[in-house]
Amino acid sequence: MPIALFILLTAGDSTPPPPVTIVPRPAYVAQGLGWFAARAATRVVTTTPSDPALTILAAHAREILESQAPPGPVEGGVIRLELAPAGALPVEGYELTAAPAGVTIRGGDAAGLFYGLQTLRQLLPVDGSGRIPSVTIRDAPRFRYRGMHLDVGRHLFPVWFIKRYIDLLARYKLNTFHWHLTEDQGWRLEIRAFPRLTTVGAWRRETVAGNQLRPYVGDGHPYGGFYTQDQVREVVAYAAARHVTVIPEIELPGHAKAALAAYPDLACTDGPFEVATTWGVHEDVFCPSERTFAFLEGVLDEVLELFPSPYIHIGGDEVPKRRWRESAVAQDVIRREGLADESELQSWFIRRIEALLERRGRRIIGWDEILEGGLAPGATVMSWRGVSGGIEAARQRHDVIMTPGSHLYFDHYQGPRGTEPLAIGGYTTLERVYAFEPVPPELTPAEARHVIGAQANVWTEYISTTDQVEYMVFPRMLALAEVVWTPAAERSWDDFTRRLPDQLARLDAMSVNYRIPEPLGLDADRLVLTDSVVLAVGTPLPTARVLWAAEGAGAGGARIADGPLVLPVDSAGLRVTARLALPDGRLGPARTVHIRRAALRPAASVDAAGVAPGLAYAYYERRVGQAAALTQWIPSARDIVQTVDLKGTERAEDFGIRLSGFLRVPEDAVYEFALVSDDGSVLRIAGDVVIDHDGPHTASTAAGTIALGAGYHPFELLFFQGEGDRTLDLRVRTAGTTTWRPIPPDWLYRER
């Protein structure tokens, strides 16, 4: 049901309040007239004062009032907290009614009441006036698993920040903190039975400098640290009070170099081993020996004492098999257990750990590689290599948590690489996060029920400070919160962006180092057919100014934009750079576009009788030892297609396609193209490379512009798929319009 607006006759102030700006957007909101004047001393009452859960929640409500409402005399009215009768409201659901006489929050359980209080927190305005608008809200989460991950193996973060991170999750109704505690580059959890894990495994001699892997350059500074068991208990209790479950991850059988440096006898070779100083996948893994399983059982016994979560994450990803192929111990296990190869040995390893945890009443979560070779019914799969692993797991009746690198890896760039801090790669904008749908359309309703939620991951190879973690997480985490909480039919990107400025102001109040958005109106380089251009450069934040500078004849230099920019464009072109400036002096990332005056490419001389609808489709499969360039492959199949995308009949990996023919455009115009691919793609029109999006990468968008005369133009699109997920999509719009659309079929032709 859409957000409703109705007139509620009330006493007191009848000024219509502005629309609520809550994130995640509630399932149902109906606003009325009038306000409740909250004060720091407003009374909080509960229906059952002796209930410990209500006592804790009442204290939380008072903390919210004392921190966000003004002092002064109380004008009447109370904030009432109630637990609804069993079954009256959904699990984690709540109802909130605010009127001039007071506020009532009913929760389906203690978690629901807690989330109602987070909504109350957002209803209190950031101006400190304490005016809560009259409103009725009914709300409950779409998914039961709503998670954020943090890798502390590559870089360690202090306990105070872990608590702050959990606080921020809870404020936006996320309920799971995935704590990635062990890695090749550092073991971060005290295990009393194995002290060398932290005296040796928690420390590396240095860290690779920046991205200097070839040639390797180290920074020369020893790095390390770990969390004591007392600190872990403190964090787990802190999270529980905020209805956040902490799930630990103990990586196995791969990503184990830090553990092997501490206990070399757990490896298949003699070593020596050191805690890794570089990133990536390392050959040395746990050997499948009885000594290893005794060690892991001892580690997990202590982990289970520290973490009451029903789930334990055991990793299971990126396990090279070379050491196992060369190991007499591993080969003996393969023969003894009747396994086909080292891949089945990995599955056997995982199932043995799974059985160990099941005997202790816990369930495993693993990355989607654990699907290979079969799993017990209780295992949950975290799908990170796209959503295909999640689809397969759901079809096998395993619970699934969607966390694809294409949308939910928050270590990826948020803007053009030259304007952002060094990151691991990828390109995941706020809008791309918001666009993610956790339930793939391929699943039946019964299969879809196994998708229990989604999670974003923060890997920290290139994230070394708490400020940088916040920069990479916010505001993208707000988009994730809405993806996993709000009903799919109620999600709206335009409405989310309307509510975003208020949320950024709230992050300002908490001194969160979020990424400032780019100015509006500078999306991509462009061509124009005139000697001037109008740029409507704007700001999504009411308090921000747009600073811009233009380089080119008569451009006018640097200034503050106070309306549309009218700029001359000569044959040399124009370079425009803009960024937002906040009142506190912080500057957002710069966005630069190049504007060139162009001549129309004349249409090719094509006899309409010599062409037919559709593009020529050539399909290539890469063979072992074959050159990497698609143009050097021999096509194995040919066809005719009516759309620019994948047919769906291609194999999973190591293939390419070539779409060729003519693009018939209906009018003289500048055309903008947006090419989405995973992996590489190149678009050529009229003999020019319009978009070069080549190279292995996750799904991301590249854009290009070309001026075309009405008629036929030679067209070629090359695409290759390496490994992981696969995506290909091409869209078009004419310059000056805002709506992208697929290439119309009646634009596509081929030679007869």
Confidence band (pLDDT; 50, 70, 90) for 5?
very low
Q: Does residue 731 lie in a domain region?
A: yes
Give the predicted TM-score (pTM) of the model.
0.85
Q: Look at residue 479 and tell me if it is in a domain.
A: no
Write down the mean pLDDT value for the chain: 91
Is residue 262 in some structural domain? no
Q: What is the 3-state secondary structure (H, E, C) of 440-506?
A: CCCCCHHHHCCEEEEEEECCCCCCCCHHHHHHHHCCHHHHHHHHHHCCHHHCCHHHHHHHHHHHHHH
Last residue of a domain, one of 597, 619, 640: 597
Output the pLDDT for position 130: 95
Highest mean pLDDT: which range of 22-26, 268-272, 740-744: 22-26
pLDDT of residue 628: 57
How many domains, in total, are found in the chain? 3
As a whole number, mean pLDDT of residues 144-157 equals 98
What are the tokens at 245? 């479950």
Q: Are residues 578 and 648 in the same domain?
A: no
Query: In which region does residue 313 sit, left (phi positive, over 0), alpha (psi from -120 to 50) or beta (all else)?
Result: beta
> 662 and 548 share a domain?
no
Burial (Cβ within 10 Å: 0-12, 13-18, ≥19) of residue 95: buried
With H, G, I as helix, E, B as strand and everything else as coil, classify residue 344: helix
Q: In what order do the strands lie in the sheet with 44-46?
A: 4-5, 28-37, 131-139, 94-99, 102-107, 78-83, 44-46
**Domain around 576:** 526-597
pLDDT beyond 60 at 4? no
Predicted confidence at residue 573, as pLDDT, reads 84
Strands 727-734 and 669-678, bridge-based pairing: antiparallel
Is 642 domain-assigned? yes
Distance CA 146, CA 125 (A): 26
HEC assignment per residue over 641-677: ECCCECCCCCCCCCEEEEEEEEEEECCCEEEEEEEEE
Q: Model confidence over 173-202: pLDDT tens digits?
A: 999 999 999 999 999 999 999 999 999 999
The pair of three-digit structure tokens given for residue 465, joined into one six-digit string: 């400070």
- Residue 33 belongs to a domain: yes
Report the SS3 class of residue 291. Answer: helix
Q: For residue 130, give the amino acid letter.
A: G
Q: Residue 196's closest CA among 127, 273, 249, 254?
A: 273
Q: Is the pLDDT of residue 312 over 70?
A: yes
Dihedrals phi, psi of 420, to nearest 5 degrees:
-120, 155
In a shared domain, residues 695 and 583: no
* The domain boundary residue, chosen from 139, 161, 188: 139
For the cut 60, the answer to whether the pLDDT of residue 9 exceeds it is no
Per-residue pLDDT tens over the stretch 736-751: 787 889 999 999 999 9
d(CA 345, CA 292): 14
Helical packing angle, 342-359 and 290-306, nearest 10°:
40
Mean pLDDT score, 273-296: 96
The count of other CB atoms within 10 Å of the CB of residue 538 is 16
Mean per-residue pLDDT, 610-614: 94
- Report, as an integer, the average pLDDT of 661-670: 95
Instruction: Give the number of other Cβ atoms within 10 Å of residue 212's Cβ.
Output: 12
Q: What is the CATH number of the domain that holds 687?
A: 2.60.120.1560
Strand partners, 139: 94
Average pLDDT over residues 456-481: 98
Reply yes or no on whether the pLDDT at 12 is more than 60: no
* 676 and 576 both lie in a single domain: no
Q: Which residues contact 187 (CB under 8 A, 6 or more apart)?
A: 153, 181, 197, 198, 201, 202, 226, 258, 259, 262
Q: Which of 553, 571, 597 corresponds to the end of one domain?
A: 597
Range with the largest mean pLDDT of 504-513, 515-524, 558-567? 504-513
**Torsion angle of C-alpha atoms 244, 299, 344, 374, degrees rounded to 10:** -30
Nearest residue to 526 (alpha-carbon basis) of 561, 601, 576: 576
Pair 13, 108 in one domain: yes
Residue 688 forms part of a structural domain? yes
Among 279-293, 321-335, 738-752, the range scoring the smallest mean pLDDT is 738-752
Q: Is 752 exposed, middle or buried (0-12, 13-18, 19+ CB in 10 A)?
A: exposed
- Separation of alpha carbons 466 and 159, rounded Å: 11
CA distances from 217 to 206, 210, 459, 463 (A): 10, 8, 21, 18
Residue bearing the bigger pLDDT, 700 or 380: 380
Mean pLDDT along residues 717-739: 85
Burial letters 391-425, b for 16+ CB under 10 A, else e: bbbbebebbbbbbbbbbbbbbbbbbeeebbeebeb
Q: Predicted confidence band at 631 (pLDDT cuts at 50, 70, 90)?
A: low
For the chain, percent of residues with pLDDT exceeding 70: 95
> What integer pLDDT is reported at residue 418 of this predicted model?
80
Contact predicate 159/186, CB 8 Å: no
Look up the CATH number of the domain holding residue 121: 3.30.379.10
Whether residue 554 is contained in a domain is answered as yes
The answer to whether residue 410 scores a pLDDT higher than 50 is yes
**Most confident region among 57-61, 515-519, 719-723 by mean pLDDT:** 57-61
**What region, left, alpha or beta, does residue 101 occupy, with left being phi > 0 and alpha being psi -120 to 50 degrees?**
alpha
Q: Are residues 651 and 747 in the same domain?
A: yes
Question: Measured in Å, how far apart are the chain's first and last C-alpha atoms?
Answer: 51
Question: Is residue 651 domain-resident?
Answer: yes
Report which of residues 556 and 356 the model is more confident about: 356
Q: Is the pLDDT of residue 402 over 90?
A: yes
| Statement to judge: residues 639 and 572 lie in one domain | no
Q: Is the predicted pLDDT of residue 1 greater than 70, yes or no? A: no
Neighbours of 51 (CB within 10 A): 15
Do both 692 and 721 map to the same domain?
Answer: yes
Are both 614 and 745 inside the same structural domain? yes
DSSP 205: S
* 227-259 pLDDT per residue, tens: 999 999 999 999 999 999 999 999 999 999 999
pLDDT tens digit sequence for 33-51: 999 999 999 999 998 888 8
24, 123: one domain: yes
Same domain, 629 and 734: yes
- In 3D, which of 384, 353, 348 has the Cα closest to residue 369? 384
Q: What is the CATH number of the domain that holds 553?
A: 2.60.40
The answer to whether residues 549 and 620 belong to one domain is no
Burial 114-140 (b: 16+ CB within 10 A, else e): bbbbbbbbbbbbeeeebbbbbbbbbbb
Q: Would you place residue 485 in the very low, low, confident or very high pLDDT band (cuts 50, 70, 90)? A: very high
Look at residue 624 in the predicted model and tell me its pLDDT: 57
